[in-house]
Structure formats: C-alpha cells, structure tokens
Structure 1
Amino acid sequence: MCEIRTVEPDDFRHLLMIEAESFTGGYSPYFLKMAPTLFGNTSLLAIKGRSPLGYIMCAREQGNPGRAWIMSLAVRPKARNQGLGEKLLVQTLDILKAEGVQDVKLSVEPDNHTALGIYQRHGFTACKTVDDFFGPGQHRLLLKKILE
C-alpha cells in the first residue's frame, strides 16, 4: 500500500530521484532541499515501503494568502497510470481548502495531455497561454481552480 505524507527534510534524496526521472531540466537540488521548510504541509510525498513514487509541492502566493500555486507534481514513470498523481492532487486541494485558500493556480506544458486531463477532471480551467514562461520556447498553459 502506498502512503502519502508530508515531505520531511530527510526526503531530499527521494525528491531528487523523482525529479530526475520525471523532468528534463527540473528544479535545482537547492529548491528541492528547501521545499519541506518553505512549503510545509502542502508538500506531499507518496512512498511505498522505502520506494518513493511521487510528490506534489504547493505554496501560498506572496501577499495573497487566499491563493496557492502548485509548483510541481511528479510521479516516477514506474508508478504512473495508477491514479497516484490524482491522489496527491486531491489530498493537497483538501489541505488548501481546510486552510482557507480560495483558488489554486498552476502552469503546465500545453502538450502534456496526461497532466491536463488530471487537472481538468478536478475542476481546473485554462486561464491563458504564456509564451516563454520559463525561457525561450518553454511555453506554459496557466490553469486555475476555485475551491468551494
């Protein structure tokens, strides 16, 4: 059985592994090391036994505590297509709602149809496309969900 729990400082190597297997040019080791400190209970890790399977990181918007951003959602290739990404997302949205967050935003690659499908099934809608969001040629689709 897979356990989903808050990311802890000792999970750094797990986050690095998931990130390396999930993204090309993902977050820096420094960012991943600081995630448990900066994001608290809105950074979750899915783990089965000693094997890390996925994570989600979410942060409140500076100056707008009623808004949060999903910074990253990653599932290792061997654990995909089992609903794990959705479980991480739903648990995070529940935490945010309980903490009084009214809306959640995120960015996703416009051609990442798997991620888009997950987000749309859970009530996220497209706001706009931003060209060169992360640099030249790195376009992103911004999505938003109102928490009710």
Structure 2
Amino acid sequence: MVVEIEQLTDHNKQAVIEQVVEIERDAFGEGALNYWGLVQMLHYGLVYVIYVNGTPAGLIYYMREMTKADSAYLYSLVIADGYRNRGLGSQLLDYSLAKVEKYGIKKVELTVAPGHKQAIYLYQNKFGFKKKEFRKNEYGPGEDRVILEVDL
C-alpha cells in the first residue's frame, strides 16, 4: 500500500475535487462541503488529501480564524469508508498539523459530535486536544458539538 499526502491547491483538478467531495458527502450528508465550497477552501484555506495507491482516501480542511491570526479551525477530517481503521486519519492529521504550524498557527480548534467516540479518542489521546466547551444544538436541534483545541 503506497500512501501519499498532498496539499490540494489547483481548482482545475476537477476529478480529484469530485472524488473528495463524494468522500465528504458520504460521511456528512447534507452537512458536507460541496464542490463550490471546496474550490473556495482551496483558495482561502488549506486542503490536504491522502491517497492510497493513487486514489483519494481522505481529506482534511483548515481555515484561519480571522479574529486570531495565530489560530485555525479544523473544518473537516474524513477518511473514506473502505479506508478507515488503517491509521490514515492519524497520518493525515499529524502531517497537516505540522504544515499549518509553518503558517504561524499556534492553536487549532475543531468541533466533533459528542457520540463520535473514535474521533474524540484520536484527537484527545493521540494528539493532545483538550475539551474547551460543549455547544448544545450547534448545528440545529439535537446537533450538539464538543469543542476541542490543541496548542501547537
């Protein structure tokens, strides 16, 4: 298995963009970033894609926080169904955190569903994220989120 990670910057890579949008849609449904949103994220945020044998297997997006220039928001981390539980999420998060730090980012924040124990374990136990707060109905009724953050 050959694993590669790259920063996606070219909005003309239509096939790759369509594949990662599909991964996002499969994972998050209505809450997924669509094609147009992803293109804007390429221009104004950071997007990293992890490939397995040349096929996109996951992605991670970051946005810089406008009111705190040294902070970023991890918008999404998702690994495609057929590639989960192989350590790819850890590889992608480790790689991307090192990259965002080079942009002067000192703190990264994210939201996660309180019931998503696997993601919470990854963030807290493997990468040192700490619980900052709990937001009831963050994305609408019944869509609570735990806010986690890490100092880089």
Q: Which residue of 2 aligns with 1:3?
A: 4
Where does structure 2 lack aligned partners over 5 or more consecutive residues?
Answer: none
TM normalised by structure 2 equals 0.89
Question: Which SS does the other structure have where 1:138 is aligned?
Answer: coil
| Residue 98 of structure 1: how far off its partner (Å) | 1.9
Q: Percent identity?
A: 27
Where does structure 1 lack aligned partners over 5 or more consecutive residues?
Answer: none
Task: Work out which of the residue numbers 14, 37, 50 in structure 1 matches 2:43.
Answer: 37
Q: How many residues align?
A: 145
**Amino acid of the structure 1 residue aligned with 2:41:** A
CA distance in 2, matches of 1:102, 1:48: 30
| Residue 50 of structure 1: how far off its partner (Å) | 4.1
CA distance in 2, matches of 1:63, 1:125: 21
Aligned structure 1 segments of 4 or more residues deviating by more than 4 angstroms: none
Question: Which SS does the other structure have where 1:64 is aligned?
Answer: coil
TM normalised by structure 1 equals 0.91
Question: Which SS does the other structure have where 2:29 is aligned?
Answer: coil
Q: 1:92-111 counterparts in 2 under 5 A?
A: 92-111=96-115
**Amino acid of the structure 2 residue aligned with 1:125:** K
Q: Deviations over 1:52-111 (max 9, x none)?
A: 100000111013111001000000010000111111111111012222211110000001
Q: Deviations over 1:12-46 (max 9, x none)?
A: 2022121122223222422123221121xx31001
CA distance in 2, matches of 1:26, 1:80: 20
CA distance in 1, matches of 2:40, 2:88: 23
1:75 and 2:75 equivalent? no
**Amino acid of the structure 2 residue aligned with 1:22:** A
Root mean square deviation of aligned Cα: 1.3
Q: Which residue of 1 aligns with 2:32?
A: 27
